[in-house]
Structure 1
Amino acid sequence: CAGFVYALSNANALIVSGQAKRVMVIGAETFSRIMDWTDRGTCVLFGDGAGALILEAQENTGETTDRGILSVDLNSDGRYRDILYVDGGVATQNTGFLRMQGKEVFRHAVEKLAATAETALEKAGLTSEDVDWIVPHQANLRIIKATATKMGLPMEKVIVTVQDHGNTSAASIPLALSVGVAKSQIKPGDLIVTEAIGGGLAWGSVALRW
């Protein structure tokens, strides 16, 4: 689920280091392949989807008004592996199933998502008051609302699409960005914070100027 944020960071690093001038970042998931359809705690939450974003090099001034990725914050902690994972292993002949401890995931998600978003903003010399839009990983509405509340941001500043396609993991952020642009919510110059958490646990955030 945090894969798209990590991929944005890698793409940005390639551009900043001069190894690439233009990078397409793709988030795609087919959760239908790893769903245990007898587990109603997971199979009703997830969906298949794909989305992409293109990053392109440009000369910036180093100011917070620059367009593009302003800062990144990435984290992981293997102690929490067992609360969200796909079972099976190297000897498994069939595709494993997604396993999740929902209450534990919720508890960690709200705390860690708010913290990583605020850290990314701090690295960029910004605060939550500067944010035009939060574009979160579309885990579920409770997590999205609780994270916005913890950051002191109204839901009017949050792009929500989970009701349309469920949790599409790494695809959910590019899908939400696409919807936000299509609806003329996201405009050039807007400050956006994306944040995500997923199996590992791995979580992170990117602050960017659209």
Structure 2
Amino acid sequence: MRARIAGVAAYLPEHTLTSAGVEARVRAAGGGYRPHPTIVERMTGIASRHVMRDDQQASDLAAEAARRVLAERGTGPERLDLLIFGSASQDMVEPATAHIVAAKLGATCPVFDVKNACNSFLNGLQMADALIRTGQHERVLVCTGEAPSRAIRWKVRDRAQFVDAFAGYTLSDGGAAMLVEAAPDGGIFYRDFAAVSAAWQVGTLPGGGSMHPRDPEFTYFSGDGRRLKDAFVDNGPEIFCTALEKTGLTWDDFAIIGVHQVTMPYLEVLRSILDIPAERLVVTLPEHGNVASASLPLQLDTAIRSGRCGPGDRVALIGLAGGVSLGVIFAEL
């Protein structure tokens, strides 16, 4: 059996915040630092990002997307064999956010969380693929709800702290869901993952764990964007080039190529290194920001709804995440 992507849907909160609005909010917070006007958009290529309502949680974003994909496929939550919540965000430390999503949907199937920064959804898809191919499940819902707006530092004391918090200013809230079903052919036909775990400290959200269980100072994103980019560039190309070699394919054999999008300059660096045709990319970053693990399913949903890919087409999903983590999945829709 193969694991086939039967449907995908994204949910983006209605409220948006422009990059100019980000800079204005930092200035208004009164921390003492005043960022240069236009610096956020100039450095990232992001014009706006989505911000969820105060009464919404990560589980709500996932549930909204899940309802959409289930309705479009004519599948009720009672028909799910498994629900996987793959996200860098969570409603709380315990229980698994997958339980909260399932309760909101009315699903009674087994559930669990997968957590691996911005590759969380891709790893959730990896798990769904493995469990379907080994005959343990036939219909799996993989979903994510990313709520990074709750962990952005607005009160900034100086330039050094602004640089450390800068990754947070690229981030956007959003949800996505993918229905994966057993099929005799098509579906996911290649997958590979790698990690450079020695670089785990270059991007963190330290609060809530055993290191910093309660200190509010550690509840903000902290990172070194340049070191993170260098780790990807130094270690990323091999896994993706090997995927092409092992399958005997070229990028031209794919209708679309989804790449996790952090900033526009870095997307262009990676595209150039991997020699990906620009017309194969689905660029969502300028309008929607870095939606963390929801980035790849958002790109696939966007491509399907705009007619850029459909049944029988090959698609590639390229994941990059803090940790550092890399992944690639090839599938036939």
Q: What is the TM-score with the length of structure 1 in the denominator?
A: 0.89
Structure 2 residue 128 is the aligned partner of structure 1 residue 11:
yes
Q: Is contact 1:73-1:116 (8 Å) kept?
A: yes
The letter of the residue matching 1:205 is: V
2:240 partner SS: helix
CA contact (8 A) 2:251 2:277 kept: no
Q: Which residue of 1 aligns with 2:332?
A: 209
Report the counterpart of residue 133 of structure 1 in structure 2. 256
Partner of 1:43: 168
Structure having greater relative contact order (Cα 8 Å, sep ≥ 6): 1
Q: 1:77: which partner in 2?
A: 196
Question: Do the aligned partners of residues 159 and 112 (structure 1) sit closer, same or farther apart at CA in structure 2, a change above 3 Å counting?
Answer: farther
For structure 1, which segment, 143-152 or 11-20, has the greater mean C-alpha deviation from structure 2 after superposition? 143-152
- Alignment pair present for 1:168 and 2:168: no
Identity among equivalent positions (%) equals 28
Paired residues of 2:172 and 2:291 also in contact (CA < 8 A): yes
Decide whether the 8 Å contact of 2:121 with 2:293 is kept in 1.
yes
What is the deviation of 1:46? Answer: 0.5
In structure 1, stretches of 5+ residues that fail to align are: 61-66
**Aligned-partner SS, 2:169:** coil
Give, in angstroms, the shift of residue 43 of structure 1. 3.1
What CA distance in whole angstroms lies between the structure 2 residues aligned with 1:208 and 1:188? Answer: 11
- Correspondence 1:131-210 to 2 at 5 A: 131-210=254-333
Give the Cα–Cα distance (whole angstroms) in 2 for the partners of residues 197 and 117 of structure 1: 11
2:246 to 123, 128, 144: 123
> How many Å separate the matches in 2 of 1:157 and 1:138?
14
* Equivalent pairs, count: 204
Which amino acid is 2:195 matched to?
S
1:99 aligns with 2:222: yes
Q: Distance in 1 between matches of 2:220 and 2:120?
A: 18
Letter of the 2:310 counterpart:
K
* Runs of at least 5 residues in structure 2 that lack an aligned partner in the other structure: 1-117, 157-161
- Alignment match, 1:20: 137
Q: Secondary structure at the match of 2:219?
A: coil
Q: Max radius of gyration: which structure?
A: 2
Q: Which runs of 4+ in 1 moved over 6 A?
A: none
Contact 1:51 1:171 in 2 (8 A): yes
Please state how far the C-alpha of 1:111 moved relative to its aligned partner. Answer: 4.3
Counterpart position of 1:64 = none
| Higher helix proportion | 2
Residue 55 (structure 1) aligns with: 180
Amino acid at match of 1:92: P
Between the aligned partners of 1:175 and 1:101, the Cα distance in structure 2 is 26
